[in-house]
Structure 1
Amino acid sequence: MSERLIAIGDIHGCRVALDRLIDELNPTSRDIIVALGDYVDRGPDSRGVIDSLIELRNRTQVVGLLGNHEEMMLEVVRGGEPPHGWLKHGGVETLDSYGFDGGLDFLPDAHIDFFDSLGDYFEFEDFFFTHAAYDPDTPLEHQPTEMLRWYSLNDGFPAPHLSGKTGIVGHTAMRDGEILDVGHLVCIDTYCYGGGWLTAIDLYSRRVWQVAQDGRVRREQTQM
């Protein structure tokens, strides 16, 4: 058992918020931090976010999941997919943060290694973590990537997973800045890049930390 099991919602290039959140968390080597994906796009400093997450791995145990925005970026960079869809959904801001000069080799080696390390889901004790959602009737190791990375909770909440464990997800932005908790499913994408908050939650204590894109800390919400 870790000292704390902490999930962090969609960061989307908001490095100032991430760095302040890490300061507030003050993690130790006994913690596990699960980053739910969508580190890049839309916000101003995707490159800086990846740098901060790589540095965080020197302080604590970090589990990173692959979000749909990383998928879009890597399909362009590695798979030769047309860039239009990615650029329309925040890729321009990501390229700006990397000082894009026209070539697709803009990712530093350390960042390539980071993206290569990302998984589709993480299961630990009474919880499982995915970027977007899950198929309730399918074991986690056989989940379709469409559900894990792309499904929107705006299309309906999945039923409890057959494992009986609580699902912790991001992807669907809660534009009111509030965590969505329906018991068997908790969504902590609280719309940081759009004026909401970057959220972290300790699943053991249910303590919540929230930081705005400009680094302001939401002091009034500390417990779920």
Structure 2
Amino acid sequence: MNGRLIAIGDIHGYNLPLQTLLQAIDPTAEDIIVTLGDYIDRGPDSKGVVDTLIQWGEKTQIVALMGNHEEMMLDVVRGDEPHHAWLKFGGIETLDSYHFNGDMDFLPPEHLAFFESLGDYFVHDEFFFTHAAYDAQLELEDQPVEMLRWYSLRAGIPAPHRSGRVAVVGHTANPDAQIVDVGHLICLDTRCYGGGLLTAMELPSKRVWQATPEGDLLP
């Protein structure tokens, strides 16, 4: 592979730092940008985040994974679940960003296509990527959705995966805005939505880019 492999942690509606990171990274058509899920909710501009990812997907290879917040939203949009839980966890901010007027068909067609295209995991060389975590004993194609999208590392960090690959995940926000790296697992959720940072990491070099919620790039 000639291009770079770069992962971006949970964005949660913060479009300014996302744009800052992508401009600083300046990915080419040969690069792969893996976004770890939770594009929406809590932050001020979920719609803008999706617009940005779609636009950059025309210039580089965006591999976008499904987070638990996208799962909650899609369940509501499809009529499979009531809206209460989603709204409690940031759905109101997402609806506001789409200028919601009571019509549950509020997603533009290209946004709905984006959400429906999200994957559960991605494997590349010695790394694999999921939103939340994994069962160390199961092959990736056999992983339960609960582990991939909902499991919190606060309940315990999984053992090394049977594949021997390093896991790169998000979901469990570090209140100190620090990257968690235990060797066989790296967590890039540095709590942008809670006043922390949005983080991108190139692999395997572990070069890091970080931006504040206001969109300022850290030196």
Equivalent position of 1:143 in the other structure: 143
Matches within 5 A, 1:5-84: 5-84=5-84
Give, as a single letter, the amino acid of the residue that structure 2 aligns with 1:167: A
Equivalent position of 2:120 in the other structure: 120
Equivalent position of 2:202 in the other structure: 202
Q: Which runs of 5+ in 1 are unaligned?
A: 220-224
In 2: Cα distance, 1:32 partner to 1:178 partner: 23
How far 1:191 moved relative to its partner? 0.4
How far 1:193 moved relative to its partner? 1.1
In 1: Cα distance, 2:172 partner to 2:201 partner: 17
Normalising by structure 2, we get a TM-score of: 0.99
In 1: Cα distance, 2:100 partner to 2:52 partner: 20
Identical aligned residues as a percent? 63
CA contact (8 A) 1:2 1:32 kept: no
How far 1:218 moved relative to its partner? 1.4
How far 1:213 moved relative to its partner? 0.8
Matches within 5 A, 1:78-97: 78-97=78-97
How far 1:181 moved relative to its partner? 0.2
Aligned-residue CA RMSD (Å): 0.7
Deviates more, 1:117-126 or 1:72-81: 72-81
CA contact (8 A) 1:4 1:204 kept: no
How far 1:103 moved relative to its partner? 1.1
Q: Deviations over 1:176-206 (max 9, x none)?
A: 1110000000000000111110000001221
3-state SS in 2 of match to 1:6:
strand
In 1: Cα distance, 2:104 partner to 2:63 partner: 27
Count of matched residue pairs: 219
Residue 216, structure 1, aligned to residue 210, structure 2: no
CA contact (8 A) 1:5 1:31 kept: yes
Equivalent position of 1:180 in the other structure: 180
How far 1:117 moved relative to its partner? 1.0
Q: Deviations over 1:141-182 (max 9, x none)?
A: 110000000000000000000000000000000111110000
3-state SS in 1 of match to 2:74:
helix
Q: Deviations over 1:120-161 (max 9, x none)?
A: 000011000000000000000110000000000000000000
How far 1:79 moved relative to its partner? 3.1
Runs of 4+ in 1 over 4 A off after TM superposition: none
How far 1:80 moved relative to its partner? 3.5
3-state SS in 2 of match to 1:103:
coil
In 1: Cα distance, 2:215 partner to 2:198 partner: 10
Give, as a single letter, the amino acid of the residue that structure 1 aligns with 2:173: A
In 1: Cα distance, 2:126 partner to 2:69 partner: 27
Give, as a single letter, the amino acid of the residue that structure 2 aligns with 1:42: R
In 2: Cα distance, 1:214 partner to 1:18 partner: 10
Residue 192, structure 1, aligned to residue 192, structure 2: yes
